[in-house]
Amino acid sequence: MVMYQMGNVTRNTVAMVLAGGKGERLSPVTLNRPKPCVSFGGKYKIIDFVLSNLFNSGIKRVYVLTQYRAYSLNKHIKDSWAKWTGMGEFYDTISPETNNAGEEWFRGTADAIYQFLHCIEATDADYVAIFGGDHIYKMDISQMISYHILNKADITLAALEVSVEEAKRFGVFSVDEDCRVTAFEEKPEEPATIPERDTCFVSMGNYIFSTRKLIEVLKEGKKRHADLDFGKHVIPMMLERGDRVFAYNFVDNLVPGMRPGERGYWKDVGTIDSYYEANMDLVNVVPQLNLYNYKWPIFTNQSNLPPAKTVFDEEGRRGQSINSYICGGCIISGSTVRRSILGPRCKINSYSLVENSILFDNVEIGRYVKINKAIIDENIKIPDGTEIGYNHEEDKRKGYTVTESGIVIVTR
């Protein structure tokens, strides 16, 4: 393990968070919201993880680039993150329609940054951190910036070390003994391995740029590609030019209070199955992702909700939660919740059973309801006597979505 730290390098850094994706593989959960605004772990949004990483790392000048159904995400940023900065610091959302130069939608990841280059040019930042807004992980980004500085890099790419078989699904870096990138290939049949190892470096979609180099390559790249993209165009172009391109091994990154089993934790949660599994990990006795590490907290909008409570304690009508996450404002009234995650303001009425499920905000479960292995969207009321997750053919007839693995999704 190698750690790189060099004082407070984040003061000279501005961040651009790409948060405009539709998250189509996560449908129908993303039909009415962008993927970064999907709930995770009950009280959080997916976007909160990258923003917490930036905040905890000392990076507090952050633009969040939104696009698809952006209202809910913009509101979440305004109601929470925008309140916590000052003295020249900011967390601000910008969308294509806020660009005075035009109202053209982002046509690629690098095009999104290009459309708002004026925001970067208006700062005195030496470095630009470009991160995605739709992954679950913890990272001290200052360590990656220090690594970038030590290597005198033009761009540093965050790299996940994975098996050869897994690497076939990602963009793969070829590197030399110093982790300088020599080639980049999207979803190769025969991925290049790390020197003297049988594993590969794949792209996490997170980059540190030296500011002048970013402006230079984006302006040059935009002349060649209308749909300018970092993976498809910018990185190959920089390699072709002989720029200093380095890979940063994510497993080397340690945040304060991190348990050994949490090192290298990074989840895409891009499909219903991966999203469900990552949530369900949280209710394990020792989850891989530790949300109780107060040295590296995950921040979100702290609404003024009362504590969760359970009511009734009689045979056959006992309010209880077992191995579950229960958020503020929830009432478990004479019912049982087991291995589940309840978002804020949920109510589970008497004689009902909720197991192995994820409930979003403000879900009400009627009496005598049985739910197993389901995801229930926000503001939904499940009528008395309903059964979900026990007969998938019946679930489909009711209009619910059922995955091949048997997860039932109930949306508005």
Q: Is 47:135 a contact under the CB 8 Å cutoff?
A: no
**In angstroms, rounded to a whole number, what is the distance separating the alpha carbons of residues 107 and 187?**
21
First-last CA distance in the chain: 47
171 carries a ligand binding annotation? yes
143 to 146, 230, 254: CA distances (angstroms): 5, 22, 9
**Quick check: helix, strand or coil at residue 370?**
strand
Distance CA 58, CA 11 (A): 7
Distance, in Å, from the CA atom of 219 to the CA atom of 340, rounded to the nearest integer, reads 49
The reply, when asked if residue 378 is annotated as ligand binding, is no
Q: How do 61-65 and 320-322 pair as beta strands?
A: unpaired
Token pair listed for 40: 């995770």
Please indicate if the annotation marks 186 as binding a ligand.
Answer: yes
Alpha-helix runs per DSSP H in 23-139: 47-56, 71-79, 109-115, 117-121
Dihedral sign for Cα atoms in the order 186, 190, 192, 198 = positive
Give yes or no for a contact between 176 and 195, defined as CB atoms under 8 angstroms apart.
Answer: yes
Beta strands in 236-287 (DSSP E): 245-249, 266-267
> With contact defined as beta carbons under 8 Å apart, do 384 and 352 qualify?
no
Say if strands 61-65 and 90-94 run parallel, antiparallel, or are unpaired: parallel
Determine which helix (DSSP H) or strand (DSSP E) holds 64, and give its type and residue range. strand 61-65
Strand partners for 139: none
Q: How far apart are CA 256 and CA 351, in angstroms?
A: 44
State yes or no: 216 annotated in a binding site.
Answer: no
- The binding site for alpha-D-glucose 1-phosphate consists of 171, 186-187, 203
Binding-site residues sit at: 171, 186-187, 203
